[in-house]
Structure 1
Amino acid sequence: MAASTKSLSSLLAQASIDDHEEILKAANAAVKKNKSDVDAHHAKAIALLHLDRYEDALEVFEHTQGLQEKARFEYAYALYKTGNAAKAVKAAEAGSDRGRGIKHMLAQAAYRSENFAQAAKVYKELANQPVEDEEYDIRINSGATDAQLEWTGQGELAQKKKPTREDLEVFETAFNAACGSIARGELAQGEVCLKRAKDLCSALSDMSDEEKQAELLPITVQQVYVLTQLGKIDQAEELANGIPFADIKELSTRYIAQVNSIAASKKHSNPYLSHRLFHSSPKPPVTDQHFSFQSNILRQDEYVISLLSQKVAGVASSTEKVISAAPTPSLAPVVNMAAVLNAAAHARNAETEKSALKEIVPLLEKRPNDVGLILTITHLYVITSNYAAATHLLESFFKRLEQSGSASDLDVRFAPGLIASLVSLYAQQGRPGAAKSELAKAAEYWRKPHKSKTEAPSKALMVAAGTALLDTHNPENVKAAGEIFKSLYDQDNEDRAAIAGLVAAYSITDPSSIPDDLLSYLPEASRLIADVDVAALEKAGVPLGKPTTTDIAAAARKRSIAPSKPVHARTRRLCKARMPKEYVEGKKMDSERWLPMRDRSYYRPKGRKGKKRMEGLTQGGVVSEEKGSTPLQERKAPKDQKGKKKAKGGKW
């Protein structure tokens, strides 16, 4: 029996049958005879994979001892195709030393599990060891990974920041370059790349019309999104109306296409109709799920449509569940998005920002460390120009996190986005010192080793902190800035911001220690002064050389002899409410206009009575006692009361 089983296993190993159904039958027959035959199970699993029966293949791997170790690539592939990308990464990592095939599997699984940094690293390793048949595929997959890094806020890890001519030669790489540009907010550049991808795909001669249509539909769906974001609603609606949704094979893409068509359509202005159409879109299967940033946006769209449909209570309840299920404070986009929409639900479509604040601010008592709620209130304060209240809100929140001492709380305290918000408020209030201090504290925190779930901070934060420290001209701060730029330079020795900051710091602390390879990056002095007109500067009075004592004395004599020009007082503008009715622009206003007319220097009374009255009012003048004149101390009662007697029992 053992001999026959062994011969059957060797026969299966040497078989060259093209019909995988026949291989599966032979493998099942061998397994029936000997259930511990690993080779027979291996052949069965491979046949099931070729027949697209991924669940059955995975079951074989899960229930056969030693098979996972023997066939790491096939096991990782079965996990990947059944939607278990995270497990596929672990399986591929265990066998990553078994050739290029398992590395490709690792990169694919890491990409699907949204570990884009790991995927980019693996693709870079594969590109450094080029194989002729794989170069094209690696270029396409690397471009897709770079676009995903941009979408997830890790753009500093992307290998390409701008589309190159090489990217625009093939429609796949052109489409990925467009996605990267869109993720960076370069919508116009993305629109150009999408048009180029469409033209390249349509011009292909080695593809059938059906294959071209399958490739063109995702490009068109992306075009609708770009046109909507650019405000070209009419073009977006026209393009969306021409999309045959049923022809889109991938349900995740079809779902996005239908949602974008609702956003681009003027016919769906009725929120109740939009709500029905939104929920009638097909849900993608487990193996074709959206990425996290896509799911977050789609969930946000669902909440917004529900709010427009007056389903306020439902949105408040569902978002409250998302917030309460997560620890606070949290930097997760899903949680903070739910907090913002929860605040919108409590505002109940308030007409003004101030009325919305009255409804939302009391929520802080229940959720004082809710990042999304705090940012929402901060935004409303900024809209109402109450920058002091917005700054105080963020500062008090940061103080609470510092007092907690928790590693996760401190990660939130020094999160790049929150630091940028506070620094922007300081800049708005004209407080550069406070902004530099905040950036310096953030840089110091991230440079020190600490237990944290968060990875290294964004490059933008460290560059801003280093630049702020350089601007202080303090020796200790300049030294700290040099260390920051040195760490950035060690991560990427071609980073121009790190090179410039490192040279600037060394030029202050120790100019002799600047390496020659860094100086080669700096522009030449001739380029910097190429547009300077030296003759015009000399003619304007630029001193030539170091002035002598005689020159200084001569210049002093010239200044003393030269007649001084009259200095005109700066005219002060008045608001319209304080301007007189007869005001004419350009005409000098009367400086005594606030005095009574008789007290003005140019007042001249008319007539004889007026002149006599003026003489009597003149301070220090002679007062003539004429007939009928009466001192103030002897003022008499009015004529109608003269000689009147008090009536009996009456009143005056």
Structure 2
Amino acid sequence: MVAQSLSSLLQRASIDDHEEILQSCNAALTKSKSDLNTQHIKVIALLKLDRYEDALRVLEAGGDALKKRAGLEHAYALYKCARLEEAMAAVTQSGASRGASHLEAQVSYRAEQFRRAADIYEKLSNEPRGEENDLSINSWATDAQLQWKGEAEYVRHDRPSREDLEAFETAYNAACLNIAKGAYAQGEVLLNRAKNICQTSEELSPEDKVAELLPIAVQYLYVLIQQGKTEEAESLLNEISVEDIPELSTKKIARNNIVLARQTTVNPYLLYKALHETPEATDNDRLFAFQDNALTGNSHATDLLVQKYDGMIRSTAKALSKSSCPSTEASTNLLSVYNAAAHARGETGSKGLNKILPLLERRPKDLGLLLTVVQLYVNAGNTTSAITAVERSLKSLEESASEADQDARFNPGLLSVLVSLYQLEGRKLQIRSTLAQAASHWRNKPEAPTSLLRAAAKSLLYSDSSADLTTAGDLFKFLYQQDSSDRIAIAGYVASKATLDYSQVESQLDQLPAIGDLVASVDISALESAGIAPSASSAAAAAAFAGARKRSASGKEGRVVKRVRKSRLPKDYDPAKKADPERWLPLRDRSSYRPKGRKGKQRAAERTQGGVVSEKLGEPASQPQIVSGGGGGANKNKKKKGKR
């Protein structure tokens, strides 16, 4: 009875000292350990004191009844202990409250499920409850992470509004989004804005200002380095005190950027030591994937500089053995690249290839290793061998029955490499068949890559096959169903179906802009006067047509005369004298040839066209013979003349 009264009193109390609340709860629980109200209040007090592991122990001891009663607190404790999968399951079971939605968005953000977090923040923003500022800050941060992750099509923000620029947190996150896009100049302007707001804020204490300005300075240093502003970066280094940064993740990034800004790469051993001074961040303070990939790459690069080849081979091989193969994760493929570099032992070109190719024969599904080999082949100008290497690995994936292997086989990034190689060699049929196979694989998947389907559909439009055109039409129709405002999909559908069945696309023509509207703003005269560079094929065709027309009009006199070098001209060459047109013929075949003597005239007559062939010698007869017409033999008995 006393414990219940105390529990009711604690629920109505407004004590600011959470340690005092915790002591009161412990005293009450000694008398009644099964009091759910007191246990719940104790969990809240522990969370307020940042004692998340202790809160989880109390929840585990309280059993399912306490977890159900304190579902939101349970999920939050799991989130703060970086047990994200369990936290997501707990927050889903806790109910559909607004607080649960906020926590679900935080868990999704920390688990790098940024699209899910962005959807939740957008839903919460549509039903404002007085936390618009917090929602704006978090949604800008989520969009920045989407941009860094390479999912720019899901970014919702473009330019910050006036309200966004009134808080330094929103201005800082807007700067991060521009930095992720590569707009460093705009990012620098927004970082200055965030810095000024933070410095002049009346709501922050001096200690809070220092804590908030350090991450801004670290991000500012990165922007200056990317823009090549070395002198400004050097002056900013004095404002950054790495040891005062509480978060290990921010401290690690700051130390990395400071080392690179000071250009300590002269001595690789000092660089190696500097980059390994800060311990790894863990739990909810750990780096995001794009940050960890960059810093891991820097760490392995310094390992190569100090020639720790064997150690890198062992460490990367151990990490790769724990990952699935094939993998499309950037972190896994980065390990494969550095593993290959360690095996090459500083060799490049053909020597490096000779040491890496045996690895690819043993690990044909290692995509990171495959791309390394392809890059070395391309650098050497051997595109054909690069294509062969990719096709061999794709064949090994195609023979697998695993669905993950099939998804890797038709990965858009990997296929873009193969298509680029095909383009270098002009293999149009292979490009079309590769994209068509990929489209047939992805079109029935829940999250089909739109860019790949569009590329496949465009490629099939150039085919003369009715089957390919039908497939192109189906792909464009699928894209239109995904996005009804996609004019490219509408135009592609019309182009693919028009030659097959015009009646199917006649109704879609009204959705396309008129040709006159598309070219209304084009000044053709200005373009022609400025000069338009034609494509290679059109230029060659135009030149051939113009040349043929010129020859037919002017004949031989219109031909271009080649310039002959003086060393090839005869000594008695006279440019004013017309050259003999038969000078290339043998002497006896020229029209001016006149044979001398009886035998010469006889041979000339025998070479006359139309002469009778002699049966005895197989040569033309010198004179035509008269053939007797009957049985008369008047000269039969005539005696031969001879000497008497």
> Within 2, Cα distance between the matches of 1:146 and 1:531?
37
Amino acid in structure 2 at the alignment position of 1:138: L
Is the contact made by 2:442 and 2:448 (CA closer than 8 Å) also made in structure 1? Answer: yes
> Within 2, Cα distance between the matches of 1:40 and 1:88?
23
The residue aligned with 2:639 is none
Partner SS state of residue 215, structure 1: helix
1:530 aligns with 2:521: yes
The residue aligned with 2:357 is 361
Partner SS state of residue 523, structure 2: coil
Distance 1:483 1:183, change over 3 A: farther
Identity across the alignment (%): 44
The residue aligned with 2:579 is none
> Within 2, Cα distance between the matches of 1:220 and 1:506?
57
The residue aligned with 2:564 is 590
> Within 1, Cα distance between the matches of 2:234 and 2:378?
34
2:402 to 395, 401, 406: 406
> Within 2, Cα distance between the matches of 1:590 and 1:261?
67
Distance 1:189 1:379, change over 3 A: farther
Matches within 5 A, 1:467-478: 467-472=458-463, 475-478=466-469
Amino acid in structure 2 at the alignment position of 1:89: M
Q: 1:427 offset after TM fit, Å?
A: 1.4
1:444 aligns with 2:418: no
Is the contact made by 2:304 and 2:342 (CA closer than 8 Å) also made in structure 1? Answer: yes
Q: 1:291 offset after TM fit, Å?
A: 1.6
The residue aligned with 2:38 is 40
Amino acid in structure 1 at the alignment position of 2:505: P
> Within 1, Cα distance between the matches of 2:404 and 2:292?
25
5+ residue gaps, structure 1 = 450-454, 538-558, 572-587, 604-614, 625-652
> Within 2, Cα distance between the matches of 1:141 and 1:536?
48
Amino acid in structure 1 at the alignment position of 2:236: L
Is the contact made by 2:149 and 2:290 (CA closer than 8 Å) also made in structure 1? Answer: yes
The residue aligned with 1:117 is 115
Matches within 5 A, 1:409-420: 409-420=405-416
Distance 1:565 1:128, change over 3 A: farther
Is the contact made by 2:18 and 2:48 (CA closer than 8 Å) also made in structure 1? Answer: yes
Amino acid in structure 1 at the alignment position of 2:399: Q
> Within 2, Cα distance between the matches of 1:218 and 1:163?
20
The residue aligned with 2:79 is 80
Amino acid in structure 2 at the alignment position of 1:79: L
Q: 1:286 offset after TM fit, Å?
A: 2.7
> Within 2, Cα distance between the matches of 1:129 and 1:339?
47
Is the contact made by 1:96 and 1:106 (CA closer than 8 Å) also made in structure 2? Answer: no
Please identify the structure whose Cα radius of gyration is greater. Answer: 2
> Within 2, Cα distance between the matches of 1:528 and 1:170?
45
Worse overlay, 14-23 or 142-151 = 14-23
CA RMSD of aligned residues (A): 3.5
Partner SS state of residue 139, structure 2: helix
Matches within 5 A, 1:573-612: 589-590=563-564
The residue aligned with 2:533 is none
The residue aligned with 1:463 is 454
Matches within 5 A, 1:151-230: 151-160=148-157, 167-230=164-227
> Within 2, Cα distance between the matches of 1:404 and 1:331?
16
> Within 2, Cα distance between the matches of 1:261 and 1:136?
33
Is the contact made by 2:264 and 2:271 (CA closer than 8 Å) also made in structure 1? Answer: no
Distance 1:440 1:18, change over 3 A: same
The residue aligned with 1:650 is none
TM-score by length of structure 1 reads 0.77
5+ residue gaps, structure 2 = 529-548, 576-586, 598-644
> Within 2, Cα distance between the matches of 1:534 and 1:280?
65
1:254 to 240, 251, 254: 251
Q: 1:535 offset after TM fit, Å?
A: 12
> Within 2, Cα distance between the matches of 1:185 and 1:440?
33
Distance 1:47 1:338, change over 3 A: same
Partner SS state of residue 521, structure 2: coil
Amino acid in structure 1 at the alignment position of 2:94: G
Q: Provide the aligned length of Structure 1 versus Structure 2.
A: 559
Q: 1:229 offset after TM fit, Å?
A: 3.1
Amino acid in structure 2 at the alignment position of 1:46: I
The residue aligned with 1:137 is 134
Amino acid in structure 2 at the alignment position of 1:130: P
> Within 1, Cα distance between the matches of 2:46 and 2:305?
49
1:269 aligns with 2:266: yes
Amino acid in structure 2 at the alignment position of 1:109: V
Distance 1:314 1:429, change over 3 A: same
> Within 2, Cα distance between the matches of 1:194 and 1:480?
49
Amino acid in structure 2 at the alignment position of 1:396: R
Distance 1:463 1:67, change over 3 A: same
> Within 1, Cα distance between the matches of 2:495 and 2:38?
67
Is the contact made by 1:96 and 1:103 (CA closer than 8 Å) also made in structure 2? Answer: no
Distance 1:563 1:106, change over 3 A: closer
Distance 1:32 1:208, change over 3 A: closer
Distance 1:491 1:195, change over 3 A: farther
